[in-house]
Structure 1
Amino acid sequence: MGVLDLLTQETIGFACLPKANSAWILLGIPFDSTTTYKPGTRFAPDSVRSASCNLEFYSLLTGLILEDDRINDLGNLVLPPGEVEKSLRIIEDAVRELRGLYPDALTIFIGGEHLITYPIVKAFDKTIDTLVVFDAHLDLRSEYLSSKYNHATFLRRIVEELDLNVLHIGSRAYSKDELDYVKSSGLKVLNILESKDLEAVGKEFENLGRTYVSLDIDVIDPAYAPGVGNPEPLGMDPLTLLKVVKKIFESNNKVIGFDLVEVNPLVDVNDVTSALAGKIILEVMAMDKAFRNTKWL
């Protein structure tokens, strides 16, 4: 028996779609042990699933209807409360096992805080050419509150430890340490103003190769997504975000993984953030179905 057999908890299926073999694998990762402002993202996987059951299956971005599709929703990973290092090892082991079992599927993860992206990307090993991050924050601090592994440092650890391209989109909140690191490292960052130029952003996607997309819901303006732990004004609107994500799929890239993190149901308003998260995931599934390039399979 593997990690997925021993440490996953049954849940309702995402969007209440039947659970069956599918081109999409979904795993909830309810981890928020390093949250520093408003904790509660560990409740997001179940909240997003519940809200998504009340959405229609029509994809505005592709014109596809997914109501006859299936999803292989594996439930939630069970993690030890307060044990950050052990939790990161469990996440990495589980994702590595998942990739071995389903190498050709689009794997989708619902967090949880943004630190989960670090062990996930490590588990994908050398199969990722480019990591695209949508986030209001850079999360490039060398350390935060005397910790090197938390939601504010995860991307710094990825850049320092892993050999892959990184493209950051939608940022608008920086520390001096982070700006200095961006300048010294040459990391590609498109801030919120630059990300509004869809034609220019699309040119950045021409040679991404095998791509993993990490989406922090706080990249969206809190007017649309109030249920986040660290709200930051002046963000993207949801439709612009989805148009940018669609360009990644359209540009002959192979999207092999996707995570959506930092939804906080405890501070949400009428579940609108959980519903938006569910809608984004449905649109990503439709984009994958519409633009899946058979030459990669």
Structure 2
Amino acid sequence: MSWRHLLTRTKPFGCIEKEEPGTVIVGVPLDSTSTYRPGSRLAPDSVREAACNLELYSLLGKRSLEHIGLTDLGNIVIPQGDVELSLRNIKTVAKGVKEDYPDSLKIFVGGEHLVTLPIVESLGDLVDTVVIFDAHLDMRSEYLGSTLNHATFARRLVEKGFRVVHIGSRALSAEEAEYVKDVDNVRVVDVLEARRGVNTGKLGSVYISVDMDVVDPSYAPGVGNPEPLGLTPWELLELVKELVASSSRVVGVDVVEVNPLVDPGGVTSVLASKIILEVIGLYLR
């Protein structure tokens, strides 16, 4: 059976009806391990709706995106509460996207941050470095008795041998602080260092994961675990621009942890949509 049976159709991102394989978008409405403010399962459709009401222009890419065309495959079917089956479904779809759209920019809209784990595993051999923008390290060995959740996914990636560059952290446990000291394939750039710019050197092919709580909650209040003293949207986009310039290829991107249930005026969904548009613009440029 085709992997496409695990998808449900939705309004396309930005209401772009012209399908082209250059950019592929998939919604991943997983919200099973959220521990503070659940609701991120609603984000993929909220971010799409916000994009439909933005001008489709990339300032950093210096081009209009109105006629680029993209393929929005809809949302992955997620059996909320069954984490293992949810992760299997995400893996199946991500592998299908990898095989059927090998040369496309793959964009995944979460959902909680755990979605990054099965996506990166599925794209594995294409990815040299995983770059994570996040207020939290998400490198606990376990959290609340679970080893597979939004607070442990990055630890699992490191254990599987992926090189991780983590940018924007300002909330970490003592366990995580000790762990990253002794791991060769992790570089942590906290929010203070990130504000001065990040010299990553040549990264090869990258997968970029943006947890919206990396942005200060004054700009992005609608997230599952808000943390003060974050980046501004411009600081984030400048860092993304540097990463795209220093990588040989951007394999995929996810934007996660938007929570429409606690998002006054939908501002976080709008910002997430804008970030996606700018990433597309930078990629095309």
TM-score normalised by structure 2 residue count: 0.98
- Check conservation: 1:133, 1:213, Cα contact below 8 A: yes
- Displacement of 1:249: 1.4
Mapping for residues 1-297 of structure 1, pairs under 5 Å: 1-4=1-4, 6-161=5-160, 163-186=161-184, 187-198=186-197, 201=198, 203-204=199-200, 206-290=201-285
- Check conservation: 2:18, 2:70, Cα contact below 8 A: yes
- Displacement of 1:253: 2.3
Deviations 1:120-141 (A, max 9, x none): 0110121110000000000000
- Check conservation: 2:205, 2:247, Cα contact below 8 A: no
- Displacement of 1:68: 1.3
AA aligned to 1:287 is L
**Aligned mates of 2:39, 2:55 — CA distance in 1:** 27
Structure 1: 5+ residue stretches without partners? 291-297
AA aligned to 1:37 is Y
**Aligned mates of 2:110, 2:18 — CA distance in 1:** 20
**Aligned mates of 2:265, 2:274 — CA distance in 1:** 15
**Aligned mates of 1:228, 1:74 — CA distance in 2:** 24
Moved over 2 A (4+): none
**Aligned mates of 2:96, 2:246 — CA distance in 1:** 29
- Check conservation: 1:13, 1:19, Cα contact below 8 A: no
AA aligned to 1:182 is V
- Check conservation: 2:44, 2:109, Cα contact below 8 A: yes
**Aligned mates of 1:118, 1:166 — CA distance in 2:** 12
**Aligned mates of 1:230, 1:287 — CA distance in 2:** 28
Matched residue SS, 1:221: coil
**Aligned mates of 2:176, 2:98 — CA distance in 1:** 32
Deviations 1:145-165 (A, max 9, x none): 00000000000011012x221
Worse-superposed segment, 51-60 or 131-140: 51-60
Residue of structure 2 equivalent to 1:295: none
How many equivalent pairs are there? 284
- Displacement of 1:58: 1.7
**Aligned mates of 2:17, 2:246 — CA distance in 1:** 31
Residue of structure 2 equivalent to 1:294: none
- Check conservation: 2:28, 2:76, Cα contact below 8 A: yes
- Displacement of 1:60: 1.4
**Aligned mates of 1:197, 1:174 — CA distance in 2:** 20
What's the C-alpha RMSD, in Å, of the aligned pairs? 0.9
- Displacement of 1:79: 1.2
AA aligned to 1:83 is D
Structure 2: 5+ residue stretches without partners? none
TM-score normalised by structure 1 residue count: 0.94
- Displacement of 1:92: 0.6
**Aligned mates of 1:266, 1:20 — CA distance in 2:** 30
- Check conservation: 1:19, 1:73, Cα contact below 8 A: no
Amino-acid identity (%): 53
**Aligned mates of 2:182, 2:275 — CA distance in 1:** 34
- Displacement of 1:252: 4.4
